[in-house]
Structure 1
Amino acid sequence: MDIPEEDYAYVDGNAAAGPLQELLAVEPTTVRGQCTACGRMSMLADTRVYLGGPGLVMRCRGCGATLMSLVSTPGATRLDVSGITCLSFAIDD
């Protein structure tokens, strides 16, 4: 049974600010990502990083596919993570 979208209670994206800020304030090299192309799961520290352009490109060590790119301009920074199926953040208790 499909429930109409208007029947769901929701708030705007600002409600995610706290949880996302907490999640993204981690050591980035220990974050694990899964390659969209080959499915390999590894820490970001294990990627191959290419520098020298307007930014950096991170590639999968297994298949060479682009996982992430980070480009900064005077007006903005763009992070493209389209080559990663998911990111996994370790939680310290």
Structure 2
Amino acid sequence: MTGPDYLDGNAAAGLLSEVFAADITSAVGKCASCGDEAVVAVARVYPNDHGLVVRCSVCGDVLVVAVEKRETVCVDLRGLSWLEMRPAATA
């Protein structure tokens, strides 16, 4: 068996930075399924040609789905009870 077929939550930074001004990888979220609270960076990211799926590193349920569609990014955060992040620094 080779390595895992997923990347860590840092892999979501590129696509999700198009939607969120703050650093999404340091945001803390709560899994709506198992209740685990963790930074997005520890989640499991499964990228494909259309976007990505972010899964809880504890229970494996879907936290976030992000899809690029005709110059837009559609984000489904249904798998999170909440998401907490610091605002981007202002100049």
**Does TM, normalized by the shorter one, top 0.5?**
yes
Distance 1:51 1:79 in 2: 14
Task: Tell me which residue corresponds to 2:73.
Answer: 77
How many percent of aligned residue pairs carry the same amino acid?
32
Specify which structure has the bigger relative contact order, considering alpha-carbon pairs within 8 angstroms and separated by 6 or more residues. Answer: 2
| Structure with the greater alpha carbon radius of gyration | 1
Distance 1:52 1:25 in 2: 23
Q: Structure 1 residue aligned with 2:83, among 78, 84, 87? A: 87
Consecutive unaligned residues of structure 2, counting only runs of 5 or more, are 1-19
Distance 1:27 1:60 in 2: 18
Equivalenced residue count is 69
Distance 2:79 2:49 in 1: 19
For residue 84 of structure 1, report the CA deviation from its aligned partner: 0.1
Q: Structure 2 residue aligned with 1:57, among 45, 49, 53? A: 53
Runs of 4+ in 1 over 3 A off after TM superposition: none
For residue 90 of structure 1, report the CA deviation from its aligned partner: 3.8
Consecutive unaligned residues of structure 1, counting only runs of 5 or more, are 1-23
Distance 2:43 2:27 in 1: 11
More helix by share: 1
Amino acid at match of 1:45: A
More strand by share: 2
